[in-house]
């Protein structure tokens, strides 16, 4: 476990910079601890010197001395797995958002230097790093459950539970390390496309501002009435033969009796 944790810390600090501060570095003392307890966890073979030997070994390996046996106390690996699962959720969310924002027809973000090319569609770029990040996040969340499930031990120690831990914990640490480096690569290469974002807002005929208009009208009338009125105006804007898209809802609001009554105009005319 200590070797896997050390690999994770070293790789993350070299490739991910600020991501390490999400919580890994300050909390390592809680699960990077020495294990020296003898077969049954009593250190009986070392007699009264047992605790001193364990403390000296911990100092030599730069690990914490737990002060007791933890053969059947698997809270430390469980904490590491829980942290890795939480981090997977955060970084996996980053990957999912990048996949959505970079998809064809949306294209609100691109990548400096490009990304993966499609094998059949010349115009398409595949965000390979984001796809790998999401896949690894899902893998780590699954592995975390297996590591934490190994916390159930029989008697003083459980070889079967340990095997389950050993099978999954190294992969969890390696995949977490790779997720951190991928997230760093994405953050450094991501290029927002302001023109595409503006175009998508324009294509909505200004309907994105309907909520703001609802709250503005609610200052002059009960909110349910304001909500119903704005819904009616949105239906009118969508159903009518509209003027240019960026003026459709402004025209609907300006021409509506409620818009005239309270002197409100659409966000495009300065109240957004």
| Residues of the chain scoring pLDDT < 70 | 1-30, 113-125, 203-204, 241-272
Domain map of the chain by residue range? 2-33+70-193, 204-269
Exposure string of 242-271, with b = 16+ CB inside 10 Å and e = fewer, is: beebbbbbbbbbeebebbeeeebbbbbeee
Closest CA to 70 of 83, 81, 54: 54
The model's pTM is 0.67
Give the per-residue pLDDT at 124: 57
User: pLDDT per residue over 150-173, tens digit each?
Assistant: 888 877 777 788 888 888 999 999
Residue 19 pLDDT: 42
Distance CA 158, CA 7 (A): 26
Find where tokens 């109240």 sit: 271
Question: Which residue in the block uniquely carries the two structure tokens 């709250």?
Answer: 215
Rounded to an integer, what distance in angstroms lies between the CA atom of residue 52 and that of residue 208?
Answer: 68
Alpha helices, DSSP H only, in 102-156? 128-149
* Domain 2-33+70-193 listed as CATH 3.40.50.1970: no
Quick one: tokens of 76? 């430390």
The rounded radius of gyration (Å) of the Cα atoms in the chain is 29
Are 102 and 127 within 8 A, CB to CB? yes
SS3 60: helix
Question: For residue 219, what pLDDT is reported?
Answer: 87
Instruction: Give pLDDT, residue 270.
Output: 43
pLDDT for residue 21: 41
pLDDT tens per residue, range 220-233:
889 998 899 888 88
User: How far is the C-alpha of 85 from the C-alpha of 168, rounded, in Å?
Assistant: 13
113: left (phi over 0), alpha (psi -120 to 50) or beta: left
Extract the tokens encoding 226.
Answer: 């304001």
């Amino acid at each position: 476990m200590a070797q896997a944790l050390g690999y994770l810390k070293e790789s993350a600090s070299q490739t991910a910079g600020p991501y390490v501060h999400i919580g890994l570095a300050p909390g390592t003392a809680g699960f990077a601890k020495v294990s020296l307890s003898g077969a049954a966890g009593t250190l009986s073979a070392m007699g009264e010197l047992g605790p001193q030997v364990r403390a000296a070994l911990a100092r030599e390996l730069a690990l914490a001395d737990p002060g007791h046996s933890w053969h059947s106390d698997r809270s430390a690996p469980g904490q590491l797995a829980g942290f890795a699962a939480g981090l997977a959720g955060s970084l996996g969310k980053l990957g999912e958002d990048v996949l959505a924002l970079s998809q064809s027809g949306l294209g609100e973000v691109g990548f400096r230097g490009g990304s993966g090319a499609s094998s059949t569609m010349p115009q398409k770029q595949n965000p390979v790093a984001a796809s790998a990040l999401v896949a690894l996040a899902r893998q780590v969340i699954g592995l975390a459950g297996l590591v934490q499930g190994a916390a159930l031990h029989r008697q003083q120690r459980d070889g079967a539970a340990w095997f389950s831990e050993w099978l999954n914990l190294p992969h969890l640490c390696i995949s977490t390390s790779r997720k951190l480096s991928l997230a760093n690569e994405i953050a450094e290469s991501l290029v927002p496309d302001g023109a595409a974002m503006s175009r998508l807002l324009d294509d909505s005929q200004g309907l994105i501002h309907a909520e703001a208009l609802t709250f503005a009208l609610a200052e002059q009338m009960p909110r349910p009435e304001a909500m119903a009125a704005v819904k009616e105006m949105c239906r009118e804007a969508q159903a009518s033969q509209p003027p240019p898209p960026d003026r459709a809802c402004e025209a609907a609001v300006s021409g509506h009796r409620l818009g005239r009554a309270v002197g409100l105009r659409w966000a495009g005319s300065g109240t957004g």
